[in-house]
Structure 1
Amino acid sequence: MIKNKHNTISLVLVLVFGFVLFFIGTDGFSAYTAETARVKQLIDDKPKFPDVTLEDSNGRKYSISEFEDKYVFITFLYTSCTTVCPELEYNMKQVYDKVPNKFLGKDIVFLSISFDPERDDPATLNKYKDFFKSDGETWRMARVPNQEELDQLLKAFGVIVIPDEYGNFAHNSAFYLVDPKGSLVNVMDYKEINATAKTVVNLLENGTEE
């Protein structure tokens, strides 16, 4: 009887201790995976978009200040990708189509950034953008030609890019939203098209995400 009682108490203590560890380790149950925790940390930190030079599909070169006072809706991709990137850009197109025209180019621009600058030159990006009906203005596709600058940007935004021996990349994917001051303010699931569009439109119309 006493032994059973001790076993019960021990079990309860183990469960409570495990519960506390899980609560702490998942940041109050909000971060169940490494990716979720990474995204939460990015949103909390609000990193600045680094001072890098972008080169778009028209061969124009500029920094993020090109979009000063505008929101910038961003994806990271490489055009040779045959798996997640086409879906990522297709979903971006659907979000783009849900944003009222009055905001496009004036209050927000869409920007797809290649992390494969050697192959994704302006001519390649120009062909790729046509697949998704990007106009090259309110939705631009660009690369960061300087590898050091590109690495700095990927690191700042928590984009993981791992090359393989066949010229492909393993990478994470998301929608990234930069505010008019150049700070990352949201990272959204690229598969949640309607929820993302609602967040963006509410922000543009009301100044809030709700």
Structure 2
Amino acid sequence: MAAILKQDDRRAGSTHFQRVLLVCVLAGHAGSAIAATAYEHDDALAFSQAAIGRDLAGVTLRDTDGQPFDLDQLRGKPLVISMIYTSCHHVCPRITRNLGDTIDVAREALGEDAFTVISVGFDWRVDTPERMQQFASGLGLADVPNWYFLATDSGVVDQLSDNLGFIFYPSAKGFDHLSQATVVDANGKIYRQVYGVDVETTALVEPLKELVFNTPRSAGFLEHWISTFKLFCTVYDPNSDRYRFDYSIFMAIIVGVLSLGLIAFFIVREWRHAR
């Protein structure tokens, strides 16, 4: 199999992401039912970005045991969705392996159960539950908690890919598609698109951090403020490529509040003495 990768950088709003065009070619592969004469990578990127703000389609997939898997059951936590196909023997495994490394960093910072990940095989004729199981096992990811490898069928994959803003076109010997991970919030709304074969750690972890620590006030005063402190004090260390809780930010806030309180105390005391 040959793989052709084209990459450049683009910023959408405050998000820095790589535009990556993947052409995964497998000799003799029949491809999907989607037909196209050419893959326009700018159009694919625009289509992908247009999905942000959409509600995730409540489709039913199949897990590696062949049992129905309803996406609606994943609501309540942020979700990361990666679309791959198992016949791509180089790029898609690389995408998934690198995603796994970033997921490890995210869970270390945010918590093991803070969010869910699914990898969906879009080549529905080939990506059976058995093939998805083999794909996950080959990468050592079959037993990772809260990560599901899911199969689909023709109608569902068309609905889901369109909903996610994920375009894939069969070429003469394979597929053209963006390397894309979709971040969905706990209410099932598409929140961010992350691009690249080698995903930058912050590109994926930052939106997850925003979603995990963005506890509404309705959850209670204490829980809301604890989450707010975690949001601002969990910072990325580029030297270790890890996140850590920076107590200095917390202490600076405390010192600032105490200083303002002390200044206010002296002002009030002097004002009373002057009366």
User: 1:94 matched to which residue of 2?
Assistant: 101
The answer on 1:120 being equivalent to 2:120 is: no
Q: Contact 2:56–2:188 (CA<8 Å) still a contact in 1?
A: yes
Bigger Cα Rg:
2
User: 2:179 matched to which residue of 1?
Assistant: 173
User: 1:206 matched to which residue of 2?
Assistant: 213
Q: Contact 1:160–1:172 (CA<8 Å) still a contact in 2?
A: yes
User: 2:38 matched to which residue of 1?
Assistant: none
Matched position secondary structure for 1:69: coil
Distance 1:183 1:205 in 2: 14
Provide the identity percentage.
23
User: 1:139 matched to which residue of 2?
Assistant: 147
Distance 1:58 1:179, change over 3 A: same
CA deviations on 1:72-93 (whole Å, 9 max, x unpaired) are: 1111010001343122111111
Q: Contact 2:128–2:152 (CA<8 Å) still a contact in 1?
A: no
Distance 2:155 2:99 in 1: 27
What is the identity, as a one-letter code, of the residue corresponding to 1:64?
A: L
What is the identity, as a one-letter code, of the residue corresponding to 1:173?
A: S
Distance 1:94 1:137 in 2: 14
What is the identity, as a one-letter code, of the residue corresponding to 1:70?
A: K
User: 1:21 matched to which residue of 2?
Assistant: none
What does residue range 147-158 of structure 1 map to in structure 2 within 5 Å? 147-158=154-165
Distance 1:35 1:120, change over 3 A: closer
> Which shows bigger deviation, 33-42 or 75-84?
33-42
RMSD after superposition: 2.9
- State the TM-score, normalized to the length of structure 1: 0.73
Matched position secondary structure for 2:161: helix
Per-residue deviation, 1:114:
0.6
Q: Contact 1:59–1:122 (CA<8 Å) still a contact in 2?
A: yes
The answer on 1:186 being equivalent to 2:195 is: no
Per-residue deviation, 1:193:
2.7
The answer on 1:71 being equivalent to 2:78 is: yes
What is the identity, as a one-letter code, of the residue corresponding to 2:161?
A: L
Matched position secondary structure for 1:198: helix
Instruction: Decide which structure has greater strand share.
Output: 2
Per-residue deviation, 1:97:
1.1
The answer on 1:81 being equivalent to 2:78 is: no
Distance 1:107 1:60, change over 3 A: farther
> Which shows bigger deviation, 33-42 or 116-125?
33-42
Count of equivalent residues: 178
- State the TM-score, normalized to the length of structure 2: 0.57
Matched position secondary structure for 2:205: helix
Q: Contact 1:74–1:175 (CA<8 Å) still a contact in 2?
A: yes
Which consecutive residues of structure 1, in runs of 5 or more, have no partner in the other structure? 1-26
Distance 1:115 1:35, change over 3 A: closer
Q: Contact 1:75–1:174 (CA<8 Å) still a contact in 2?
A: yes
Per-residue deviation, 1:202:
2.1
CA deviations on 1:148-167 (whole Å, 9 max, x unpaired) are: 1210111111111112344x
